[in-house]
Amino acid sequence: MKKDKGIALFPHQDDEHHNQNYHAANKDNTSFPSVRFSSRNASSKYDFVKVKVWLGDNADHYYVLSRFLLSRMLTVTKIPNHVAIKIALELKKLLIDNSLLDVSQSDLEANLFKLMERRGYGEEYINRYKMMTRFHHQRVPLVILVCGTACVGKSTIATQLAQRLNLPNVLQTDMVYELLRTSTDAPLASTPVWARDFSSSEEVYIWIQAYI
């Protein structure tokens, strides 16, 4: 058999809504003054003003809006990175300039979608954003397996994909296999699967079924 390795990507199970920290608290009406910002700078004075986004029907939990994480979400919808950064900044400026420091998730998305449409990213991109939001709300573990022969760029693809999808963990399957082999009583052979000789496809199928 040819060499066939893989790289697995998956998020940390403690991550929730893209690593944004959620808090249980009561709403407060503290107001902050508006500040001016030059779009040429990488950071913004708006970043020092907290905007709380409230979740749930009773609005008893909130997270602090992160411009960086929002732009990462937008890049998942295939919006170019530089445009996603501008949209995230425009949204933060819009909320602060209008003293909307406590907003619901639905109101936040309504304003975000208007800004996306204004820049020409309409229904197709909005639907992708909604799909990703629903997925993260379900907190389902996401595991992506990138397979291929040696020296074809699996690590590069896996790293770039993890960055785009905001996945913190990138592991080589050989490392996972070796960890399982040395830390459990399972009869795992030290020879990697891709280095073994199988006499038939049925033998490969039987081996796979034994470890699923």
What per-residue confidence (pLDDT) applies to 202?
A: 66
Burial class (CB in 10 A: 0-12, 13-18, 19+), 8: middle
Rounded distance between C-alpha atoms, residue 173 and residue 176, angstroms: 5
- Asked whether residue 189 falls in the same domain as residue 131, the answer is no
Is the pLDDT at 85 greater than 90? The verdict is yes
Q: Is residue 189 part of a domain?
A: yes
Of the candidates 107, 138, 169, which is a domain's last residue? 138
Strand 144-148, strand 169-172: pairing: unpaired
Domains identified in the chain, total number: 2
Q: Is residue 43 part of a domain?
A: no
What the block records as the tokens of 15 is: 């991550």
Q: Is residue 73 part of a domain?
A: yes
Of the candidates 114, 138, 162, which is a domain's last residue? 138
What per-residue confidence (pLDDT) applies to 26?
A: 43
Burial class (CB in 10 A: 0-12, 13-18, 19+), 41: exposed
What the block records as the tokens of 38 is: 């030059």
User: Within the chain, where are the H helices?
Assistant: 67-76, 81-97, 105-118, 123-138, 154-165, 173-183, 201-210
- Asked whether residue 134 falls in the same domain as residue 202, the answer is no
For residue range 60-81, list pLDDT tens digits in order: 788 899 998 899 889 989 999 9
What per-residue confidence (pLDDT) applies to 151?
A: 84
Neighbours of 65 (CB within 10 A): 21
In terms of residue numbers, what domain contains 118? 52-138
- Asked whether residue 147 falls in the same domain as residue 200, the answer is yes
For residue range 137-179, list pLDDT tens digits in order: 787 888 888 888 888 888 889 888 887 777 778 888 777 777 7
Largest CA distance in the chain: 73
Instruction: Read off the pTM.
Output: 0.58
For residue range 39-55, list pLDDT tens digits in order: 444 577 788 889 999 98
Q: Is residue 110 part of a domain?
A: yes
- Asked whether residue 176 falls in the same domain as residue 129, the answer is no
- Asked whether residue 78 falls in the same domain as residue 106, the answer is yes
What per-residue confidence (pLDDT) applies to 12?
A: 47
